[in-house]
Structure formats: C-alpha cells, structure tokens
Amino acid sequence: MRSVTRPGNGRRTARLRQFEQLLDVGAGGEQKAMTFMDWASRVPEPRSGPLDFDLFPFQRELYTEGVDDREIVVMKSTQVGVSAWASRWAMYHSDVHRRTGLYVFPTQDQVRDFSAARIKPAIDASEYLRGRQRNTDPSSKGLIGLGGGMVYFRGSQERRNLDSVDADYVVLDEYDMLAQENIPDAERRVSGPRSAGLIRRVGVPTVPGSGIAQLYEVSDRRQWHVKCEACNEWQTIDFFENVDQVRMIRVCCRCTKPLDMGKGEWVAEHPDRDTRGYHVTRLIAPSASIERIVKASKLRAPYEKQVFFNKDLGLAYAPEEGRLSKEALAAAQSAGGGYTIALGYAGGGVVTMGVDVASTRNLNVRVSEHLPDGERKKALWIGEAESFNDLGLLMERFGVNMCAIDHLPEGRLARAFAERFPGRVYLVSYDGTPNPKDSNVIKVDEEMRHARVRRVEAIDAMAEMLREQKNLLPMDLPEGYVEQMQANVRVASKDEMGKVTVAYRKVGGADDYAHAEVYDIVATEIYWLRQGIEEAEREVYRPLDDLLDFQRSRLADYDSGVDYHPGPADEPYDHREGY
Ligand SMILES: [Zn+2]
C-alpha cells in the first residue's frame, strides 16, 4: 500500500494509446483534451445515472468553471451530489490530464467503502471508463490507474500513508472529520515544483469558525441566487425566509409566490477573492423534500438540531450550551467569594493537581483544595510551570495528595516525575476508541500508574462542575485561561446509520487549561479510588458517575434507543484537536 511505483510510459498499453488517439489526447496532447463536462457526461453515477442538471441546476457551474483553479472550497449539506462531483473531478484530472492525485477520507474504512460503493461501480457503469482503467483493483489497493494518471485513495489517520505520494492534486473529502493534524502533510504533497498544485476541500460544516466553515468564510463565498418570476426579486434561499411551512414549498421572500430553484445562478459575495467557495445546501435542489427538511427543523434534541443545520442546511452551528460561557466562569469566580491565588497550602483538605503538557517548558497546572462538603473544590493555584522541576516544587508547596499529568508529548519526563512521587502521580491518556459496551468512564492501571479517561464525558464533567459552581475560581485568573476554557465546542451528530456521535471540537487556539482542569478531575477520582481500594486490585474499573456526584449534562440526555457513542469508532485522535 505504501510504495507503489508510478508507471512510466513503457507500461502504457496499446489499448490506452488507441483510446488516446480516439480522444485526441495523450503525450503532449493536452491542448485538445476533453473538457470536464464532456468527460463527466460519459461517466454516469452508478445509482442515479447520467448527470442531470434539471435535478441539480446548481451543479452545472461546478462542471464548467474553475476546473483548473488551484483551490476550491465546497461547504455542503448531504445528498447534493458534491462527493460525486469531487470524485469525478479527481478521475478526470488523472485520466485526461495524466495527473497523479491523492483523495483523502477521514478513515481507511471510508476509503474501502468509497472504493467499493462508488468508484468501482462508477467504472463498471461507464463503458468509457472501463476502457481507460488500468490493471489496478480499487477495492483492495486504494489505487486506480486511469488513462495516463492515477488516483490514490487514502485515510487521513496515518501520516505515512499520505507522505508516500507526490501528487498533482489533492482532494480532502469530509474535511471536518479528517485527522486535522495530518491535513498539512496531505497538502504538502502538491507543493513540489512539478506539481499542478490543485486542492479541493469539501465537506459538511460543524461549528462556526472551524474546518470547512472557516475556509468558506475566507473564500469568495458563492451562494445560489434565485430570481422570482413574479416580482423579479433576486434572492438567496434561506430556510427561515423562503420556506412556506404550510404549503411545504419554497417561496419568494418578497411576494411569497413559489420560487423555481432552476432559475438561479451562483453569485460571489467577495468576487475580489482568489478562491472559489460554494455553499451547497439541500434547499437549492429542486427535488429536495421540503417536508422532510421542515420535519427535521422541528426536532429538538441537541444532536438533532446540529444535524439539521449541518447536514440539511449545510450550515455551521454551535449550540449555546455546547461551550462554556464567560458568564459561567465569572459566576464560578463570584461563588469563590473574590479570593486570589495562594502561594502554598497548609490546611487539612485533600489537594489534587492536574497538569497539561504542551511541551517541557509549557506545563499548564491547576491545583485544587477539596472542601469539606465533599461537593465543591476551590482553585488554590492556576498557572504555568516552566519545568518539571517547578512542578515538583508545586507538589511540595501545596502538599498535593494526587496529581494527574498528560502522558504526552513528554511521556518520559512525565513518567520520571511520577517516579519521584510514588503513588501520588498518575499519567493520563484520553480514551478515543472506547468499547461501546463498556460504560466505565475512567480506567486506572495501578501497576503502571496510568489512567485512561473517555474524552467527551471527562470534558462534560469538567464543564458541568463549573456551571454548577462546584469549581470555585480566583479573581486573578492567569492570562488566556478564559479563552482556553472556551476553546472547545460540544458537537453532536447522527450518521446515516442512526448512530449518534458526540465530540468536542476545538474552535479557538490553545485549550491547555481546559485539559489541566480535566486532569484535576481525574486526579480526584484516582485519589478517592485509592482510598477505597487499599486491597489494590491490579486493574480497577469504576464509572466516573459513581465516584463524582455530578449532575450529567442535559446535553447527554439522548433518547435511550440511540446507540450513543462518544466519537467516531476506530479512529485515533489527537487530544488537542479532537476527532
Ligand atoms: Zn417575488
């Protein structure tokens, strides 16, 4: 899978040359190459047949303009034919322009599914493509040879998968679901001097200010404008302005007469900008079921609202409750009574510490005193330590009973630190691929002094403690604390199989203090766990809920029939970036 030789001209078959003559393309023949539109008309969709611009009038421009633009961004809802467009665009450039391309999906599983469900049937359904395909098997190798070029299909999780391909173009599909830390690697594949350097980024948006929504924001921002035949008003199509929820039709925002989605054109809000950006919503497809969309708009569960905005309207959405508010943080300060950070602690309470490690010289720390009521805790110290040595001083000055520290990226130093304070320091990692049958939020390996905690539930618990004013904060919060605590937004979504996925997506800059706060909760759990189990089993499982009497976030109240699942299955994740 990793090293596939790029075939030279010597391997090109007589049959291929024959086709090239037929098409008037081939070595040096690009000046007469087929247009994308001509090519696409020979490649029907396996399920829906040939391109139909009556069904999808807004797609015409995608097939006729910007075909050779360096970059295009498409922020979309589902079922609008954009993935079909992107895969055709890729195959077209490989086939006709003899380019090597990299087509990136979030996971390797999706690569397999896409090859089996879309690429292979597309080739089988097209007599033209069958003649152009070289002897490669899309279902097993993630690679197809077409005409004079080839397309590599890759999952975003493994960097080395991406590094092995030098490409002329890259398509980043399901953009917000890609392993975000590997996107720069994928894009570097087209930065070489001989690369055509083409990039297509497409996907369903999630929360404002991140991912594809952010890219669309800085593009030329094209929207489909429709002309009302009755009053001549040109308008964009907005669910709240243009959908008549009684007649279940789209109407003019001015005269309320029915609108014809076919009578439209793409208009850029910022024509001066270089990159084309399209917002393709299901609302502009003439055949879209308005009834279905209206029905979806009336659903009230948080993930249902998220799905409606993201997948039906193709719009970014951040529920108010999905993010810690400045007000909640200020209230936690007021509840603390207006105190300031201490230099040390000599009281008799239980003291815990959470440490997020961004680098050896950037350790974000939260130290807590647990109040006698057994419910609340008070921040004794919040700030940055400049070394592991300084961390040791904090342990002593505050008489820390239990510390939980990030196991990455300085695992060796963190472990050495744990050895300096035997039984008082545990390493923590987030559990990204929990077994859905396993309800335990935290798992502690006593022997290894290592705890694994489920990311979504842990961040939920941290946010909930603050909202309920059980985590008291000082007046002199360090610089960046408030912003970092707000850097994650909780996003719930439901896939085609009905599986609900919840994840925290980072929308701001750093979020180190938020993780230090989470680790402080983990330290608390471990402390009480050790108190309770002096008979020391090797591995102990306890649900976080049993130990910490926090009220579950209302956001977590999914209907019981739903297969709740904190994060996409089988995907590793970066603890800073989320999924
Ligand atoms: Zn009108």
- Cα 247 to ligand 1 centroid, rounded to whole Å: 16
> Is residue 38 predicted with pLDDT exceeding 60?
yes
Residue 9 has pLDDT above 70, yes or no: no
- Cα(295) to centroid of ligand 1, in Å? 25
* Spacing, Cα 236 to ligand 1 middle (Å): 12
CA 396 to chain centre: 40
**Three-state DSSP class for residue 564:** strand
Question: Is the bond preceding 409 in cis, omega lying within 30 degrees of 0?
Answer: yes
**CA 525 / ligand 1 centre spacing (Å):** 62
Task: Tell me: pLDDT of 18 over 60.
Answer: no
How many angstroms separate the alpha carbon of residue 223 from the centre of ligand 1? 18
- Beta strand 471-472 with 377-385: parallel, antiparallel or unpaired? parallel
List the structure tokens of 576: 């800073």
Cα 2 to averaged position of ligand 1 atoms, centre (Å): 57
Residue 123 Cα to ligand 1 middle (Å): 44
457 CB-near residues (< 8 Å, 6+ apart): 441, 544, 556, 566
As a whole number, mean pLDDT of residues 537-544 equals: 48
Q: 547 or 510: which carries more pLDDT confidence?
A: 510
Residue 445 Ramachandran class (φ > 0 left, ψ -120 to 50 alpha, else beta): beta
Q: pLDDT by residue (tens digit) across 39-98?
A: 999 998 877 788 889 889 999 999 999 999 999 999 999 989 999 999 999 999 999 999
288: CA distance to ligand 1 center in Å?
21
Q: How many CB atoms lie within 10 A of CB 2?
A: 9
Q: What is the 3-state secondary structure (H, E, C) of 472-534?
A: ECCCCCCCCHHHHHCCEEEEEEECCCCCEEEEEEECCCCCHHHHHHHHHHHHHHHHHHHHHCC
Mean of the pLDDT values across residues 23-34?
A: 56
Q: What is the pLDDT of residue 1?
A: 38
Say whether 29 sits in a helix, a strand or coil: coil
Which residues place a Cβ less than 5 A from the ion ligand 1?
228, 230-231, 233, 252, 254-255
What length is written for the chain? 579
Q: What separation, in Å, do the N-terminal and C-terminal C-alpha atoms of the chain show? A: 24
Ligand 1 centroid, distance to 264 Cα (angstroms): 14
Whether the predicted model's global pTM rises above the 0.85 cut: no
User: How far is the centre of ligand 1, averaged over its atoms, from the C-alpha of 81 (Å)?
Assistant: 28
Q: Hey, what are 186's tokens?
A: 């994928």
What is the b/e burial string over 473-485, where b = at least 16 CB atoms within 10 angstroms of the residue's CB?
A: bbeebbeebbebb
Provide the 3-class DSSP secondary structure of residue 376: coil
Residues 566, 456: contact at Cβ < 8 Å?
A: yes
**235 alpha carbon – ligand 1 mean position (Å):** 9
Are 72 and 200 in contact by the 8 Å Cβ rule? The answer is yes
Q: Is the peptide bond before 138 cis (omega within 30 degrees of 0)?
A: no
Nearest residue to 219 via CA among 168, 265, 273: 273
Ligand 1 centre to CA of 239 (Å) is: 16
- Per-residue HEC secondary structure of 481-494 comes to HHHHHCCEEEEEEE
**Mean per-residue pLDDT of the chain:** 84
Give the distance (Å) from ligand 1 centre to CA of residue 231. Answer: 4
CA separation for the pair 522, 234 (Å, rounded): 56
pLDDT digits (tens, 9 = 90+) for 161-220: 888 778 999 999 999 999 888 999 999 999 988 899 999 999 999 888 889 999 999 999
CA–centroid distance, 219 to ligand 1, in Å, is: 29
* Cβ-defined contacts of 345-348 (< 8 Å, 24+): 345/369, 345/380, 345/397, 345/398, 345/399, 346/399
Ligand 1 center from residue 242 Cα (angstroms): 11
20 or 347, greater pLDDT: 347
- Tell me which amino acid residue 90 is: A
Q: How confident is the model at residue 495 (pLDDT cuts 50, 70, 90)?
A: low
How do residues 422-474 score in pLDDT, each as one tens digit? 999 999 998 865 555 666 788 889 889 999 998 888 898 899 899 889 999 99
Q: How far apart are CA 175 and CA 488, in angstroms?
A: 18
Instruction: Give the model's pLDDT for residue 218.
Output: 95
CA of 230 to the centre of ligand 1 (A): 5
pLDDT at 480: 93
The Å distance, Cα 365 to ligand 1 centre, comes to 59
Q: Which residue has the higher pLDDT, 360 or 447?
A: 447
Distance (angstroms) between ligand 1 centre and the Cα of 234 equals 8
Stretch 503-508: mean pLDDT: 79
* CA–centroid distance, residue 460 to ligand 1 (Å): 47
> Distance from the CA of 74 to the center of ligand 1, in angstroms?
28
- Using the mean position of ligand 1's atoms as its centre, give its distance from the Cα of residue 251 in Å: 8
Work out the pLDDT band at 136, boundaries 50, 70, 90.
Answer: low
Q: Which pLDDT tens digit goes with each residue over 526-535?
A: 999 888 765 4
Q: 556, 175, 493: which is closest to 305 by C-alpha?
A: 493
- What is the 299 CA–ligand 1 centroid distance (Å)? 30
Query: In angstroms, what is the span from residue 68 Cα to ligand 1's centroid?
Result: 37
Write down the pLDDT at residue 19: 54
Å from CA of 111 to ligand 1 middle: 45
Question: Cα of 22 to ligand 1 centre, how many Å?
Answer: 50
Name residue 104's beta-bridge partners. 154, 172
